[in-house]
Amino acid sequence: MNRFSCPACKRCTRSQAYSFILLAALLTAVATTTLAQAPEAAKREPLRVIDMPTAGINHRGEFNTDLRIYPNGGILAQMGIGLFRRFMFGISYGGSNVVGRGKIEGNKQPGMLVKYRLWEETTAFPAIALGYDNQGFGAWLKTYNRYEYKSPGLFIASSKNFSFGTDRNFGVHGVVNWNGTETDDDSGMDVSVGGDFSLNEELIALAEYNFALNDYRTDKSNRVVTLGQGNGYLNAGVRWAVGKIYLQFEFKDILANRLNVSGPDRAFSISYAEAIQW
% of the chain surpassing 70 pLDDT: 83
Q: Which domains does the chain have, with CATH numbers?
A: 14-275 (2.40.160.40)
Torsion-angle region of 72 (φ positive above 0: left; ψ -120 to 50: alpha; else: beta) = left
Stretches where the chain sits below pLDDT 50 are 7-12, 31-39, 41
DSSP state string for 18-69:
HHHHHHHHHHHHHHHTTTTSPP-GGGSPPSBSSSSB-S--PPBTEEEEEEEE
For 259-272, write each residue's pLDDT tens digit: 888 889 999 999 99
Q: Give pLDDT tens digits for 1-15.
A: 566 655 444 444 555
Q: pLDDT tens digits for 24-73?
A: 555 555 544 444 443 454 567 899 999 999 999 999 999 999 999 999 99
Half-sphere exposure of residue 36, counting CA atoms within 13 Å on the CB side? 1
SS3 222: coil
